């Protein structure tokens, strides 16, 4: 639990405005720096291809190809992401860290065979008329990205934020450089450039894990034992990722909101562009959440169980429990406050922002509701993480199912109600899910002492 929290507490030890800025800046880089840099690098590459080189169609095809790769792999790799991270945590607690890397190899092998096969089949379904090399590199990138998300989730759980950030920077700088170099050779070479960058990213992650957790075995299958696999987590991660993407997928399917980019790959600029901008506003909320949960909540959570193990008095344990509850609620309030300020700022300046980015002012209404949706998503992510700390696996599964069903149904309703209601399905689904998550979290805090002593 100490990990990154120790570094942040060390920065903030000297009470000054500069150290406060440093601590929050460090949190921002570590919480969203990797994927923000990845989005930025891809965006710059697409901008260069479109506006400097003048390949408008090629830029759209490249961006759409990567969007489908990222969406598909995030959803399918969800079967392994959280469940394998939990397995690794259990091995570390049981002092069997030498089992981590051999089981990781087993997970990579199984995911390559299962998810990889799905990826190859999807390329033939979605882009049957494209060249063999385009389909080959799309399928290979699909494989690599699945491994990236599994390793990224694992390294995040192990608090290797610095390493993740540096590997992402190296990988996506290389991806952009190679794409710009190969732009005149066509789309297949652009996807090849992306594949090379992901291969290097995966290699760096695996090398880091083997260096940190050395072993004399190449492969083990402990993770796939029913006693070691948390089935609820397997489906929770998959359903949560699918729930986030389902509204986007529907707008790629709806005939009146889509247009064909390449083969059977569709895009929905009306829905995608405002959502892309809105997602970037998640930075303040996640920054504050990482700072608070790693410096305060994780620290007190650890002390709570240390008090129990050392035989503290009942009153001391209750005092620590009350402190933990107070800190958890403060994490939530801080995310709510900072993300609320971000929402207010973007809503007020939506039109100038769109004008600055040379986007149609017609996007302003959808951008405003998307900003609110992403604020609700940030709250959901915070509550989801707090429930994960408290090991409420059943509640996490229920939240994922509720979010998926509501987002699917409400997005369908919003579509048939008309363009004025686009985006409201996603927002309302998140609002209801957040309220349910708050109820679960409050119940989890109330029953923490009972679960600690009676269900151990």
The residue-averaged pLDDT of 61-83 equals: 87
Q: Residue 265 pairs with which residues in a beta bridge? A: 262
CB atoms within 10 A of CB 21: 11
Q: How many CB atoms lie within 10 A of CB 374?
A: 25
Task: State the pTM of this model.
Answer: 0.83
| Of the candidates 335, 19, 33, the residue with the CA atom closest to the CA atom of residue 8 | 19
Note the pLDDT of residue 287.
74
Kindly compute the dihedral angle of the four CA atoms of residues 298, 230, 445, 371, in this order, to the nearest 10 degrees. Answer: 70
CB 388, CB 153: distance < 8 Å: no
Each residue's pLDDT tens digit, 238-297: 999 999 999 999 999 998 888 888 888 898 888 888 888 888 787 777 777 777 776 778
Fill in the DSSP letter of residue 71: H
What is the per-residue pLDDT for 243? 94
DSSP state at residue 264: T
CA distance 64 to 59: 9
- Torsion sign, CA atoms 183, 189, 194, 199: negative
Rounded Cα distance, 43 and 310, in Å: 53
Residue 402 pLDDT grade (very low, low, confident, very high; cuts 50, 70, 90): very high
Q: Among 240, 171, 169, which Cα is nearest to 395's?
A: 240
Helix (H, G, I), strand (E, B) or coil at 262: strand
Q: What is the DSSP secondary structure assignment for residue 391, as one 8-state letter? A: T
- Which CB contacts under 8 angstroms, 24+ apart, belong to 405-408? 406/432, 406/433, 407/243, 407/244, 407/246, 407/247, 408/246, 408/247, 408/250
Judged by average pLDDT, the poorest of 93-97, 368-372, 400-404 is 93-97
pLDDT at 1: 33
Q: Give the closest residue to 105 by CA, choosing from 223, 225, 229.
A: 223
Query: What's the CA gap between 248 and 250, in Å, rounded?
Result: 5
Write the pLDDT tens digit of every residue in 187-226. Answer: 899 999 999 999 998 898 888 888 888 888 888 888 888 7
Got the DSSP string for 142-195? HHHHHHHHHHHHHHHHTT-HHHHHHHHHHHHHHHHHHHHHHGGG-HHHHHHHHH
Residue written as token pair 């995608």: 272
Q: Residue range 74-89: average pLDDT?
A: 84
- CA separation for the pair 424, 415 (Å, rounded): 9
In angstroms, rounded to a whole number, what is the distance separating the alpha carbons of residues 381 and 372?
Answer: 14
Given a contact cutoff of 8 angstroms between Cβ atoms, the answer to whether 64 and 267 are in contact is: yes
Residue 314 CB neighbour total at 10 angstroms: 8
Read off the pLDDT of residues 131-186 as tens digits, 9 standing for 90 and up. Answer: 889 888 998 998 888 888 888 777 766 667 677 777 888 888 888 889 888 888 88
**Could you give the angle at which helices 17-47 and 3-12 cross, rounded to 10 degrees?**
120
């Amino acid at each position: 639990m100490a990990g990154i929290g120790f570094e942040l507490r060390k920065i903030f030890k000297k009470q000054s405005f500069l150290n406060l800025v440093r601590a929050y800046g460090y949190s921002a880089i570590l919480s969203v720096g990797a994927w923000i840099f990845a989005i930025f690098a891809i965006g710059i590459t697409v901008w260069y291809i479109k506006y400097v080189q003048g390949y408008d169609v090629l830029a759209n095809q490249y961006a759409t190809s990567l969007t489908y790769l990222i969406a598909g792999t995030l959803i399918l790799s969800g079967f392994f992401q959280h469940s394998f991270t939990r397995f690794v945590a259990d091995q570390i607690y049981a002092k069997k860290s030498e089992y981590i890397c051999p089981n990781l190899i087993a997970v990579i092998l199984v995911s390559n065979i299962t998810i990889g096969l799905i990826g190859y089949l999807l390329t033939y379904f979605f882009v049957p008329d494209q060249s063999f090399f385009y389909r080959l590199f799309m399928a290979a990138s699909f494989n690599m990205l699945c491994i990236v998300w599994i390793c990224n989730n694992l390294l995040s759980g192990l608090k290797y934020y610095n390493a993740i950030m540096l590997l992402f920077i190296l990988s996506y700088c290389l991806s952009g450089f190679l794409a710009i170099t190969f732009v005149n050779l066509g789309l297949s070479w652009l996807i090849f450039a992306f594949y090379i960058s992901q291969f290097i990213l995966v290699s760096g992650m695996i090398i880091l894990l083997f260096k940190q957790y050395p072993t004399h075995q190449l492969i083990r299958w402990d993770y796939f034992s029913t006693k070691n696999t948390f089935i609820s987590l397997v489906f929770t991660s998959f359903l949560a990722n699918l729930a986030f993407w389902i509204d986007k997928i529907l707008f790629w399917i709806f005939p009146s909101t889509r247009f064909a980019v390449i083969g059977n790959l569709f895009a929905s600029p009306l829905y995608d562009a405002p959502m892309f901008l809105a997602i970037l506003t998640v930075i303040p909320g996640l920054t504050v959440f990482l700072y608070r949960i790693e410096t305060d909540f994780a620290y007190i959570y650890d002390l709570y169980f240390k008090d129990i193990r050392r035989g503290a008095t009942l009153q001391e344990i209750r005092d620590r429990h009350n402190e933990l509850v107070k800190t958890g609620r403060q994490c939530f309030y801080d995310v709510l406050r900072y993300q609320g300020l971000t929402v207010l700022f973007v809503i007020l300046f939506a039109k100038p922002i769109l004008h600055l980015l040379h986007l149609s002012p017609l996007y302003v209404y959808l951008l405003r509701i998307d900003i609110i949706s992403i604020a609700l998503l940030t709250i959901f992510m915070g509550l989801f993480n707090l429930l994960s700390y408290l090991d409420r696996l059943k509640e996490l599964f229920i939240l994922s199912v509720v979010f998926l069903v509501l987002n699917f149904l409400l997005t369908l309703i919003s579509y048939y109600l008309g363009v004025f209601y686009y985006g409201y399905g996603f927002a309302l689904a998140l609002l209801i899910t957040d309220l349910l998550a708050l109820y679960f979290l409050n119940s989890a805090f109330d029953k923490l002492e009972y679960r600690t002593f009676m269900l151990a």
